[in-house]
């Protein structure tokens, strides 16, 4: 059993298997920058920030990086419904 003072290690799914990283990033980007586009699922690269760079330039890459590294971002990721661990 873990002692209360021990640090916990949290593993985060970042490739869309359990949680929808891209959807949350795109939703927040769209909320903050409603007149800008967002990347689509048919992008040609794996990383969301790289997709923003390729499609919209350095400013968009910086913006999405600020979003996905902000406090609470990972806690707010929506679960992919069909990947529910309960059923």
Q: How confident is the model at residue 46 (pLDDT cuts 50, 70, 90)?
A: confident
Residue 7's Cβ-count burial label (10 Å; 0-12, 13-18, 19+) is exposed
> Exposed, middle or buried by CB within 10 Å (0-12, 13-18, 19+), for 25?
buried
pLDDT for 81: 78
84 or 62: whose pLDDT is higher? Answer: 62
- Would you state the pLDDT for residue 6? 81
pTM of the model: 0.75
* 30-54: b (≥16 Cβ within 10 Å) or e: eeebeeeebbeeeeeeeebbebbbe
What pLDDT is stored for residue 13 in this prediction? Answer: 63
Which of the four pLDDT bands, split at 50, 70 and 90, describes residue 72? very high
3-state SS class at 4: coil
């Amino acid at each position: 059993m873990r002692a209360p003072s021990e640090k916990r290690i949290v593993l985060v799914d970042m490739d869309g298997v359990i949680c929808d990283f891209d959807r949350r990033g795109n939703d927040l980007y769209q909320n903050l920058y409603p007149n800008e586009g967002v990347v689509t699922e048919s992008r040609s690269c794996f990383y969301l920030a790289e997709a923003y760079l390729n499609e919209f330039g350095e400013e968009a890459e910086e913006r999405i990086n600020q979003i996905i590294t902000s406090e609470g971002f990972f806690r707010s990721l929506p679960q992919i419904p069909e990947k529910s661990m309960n059923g």
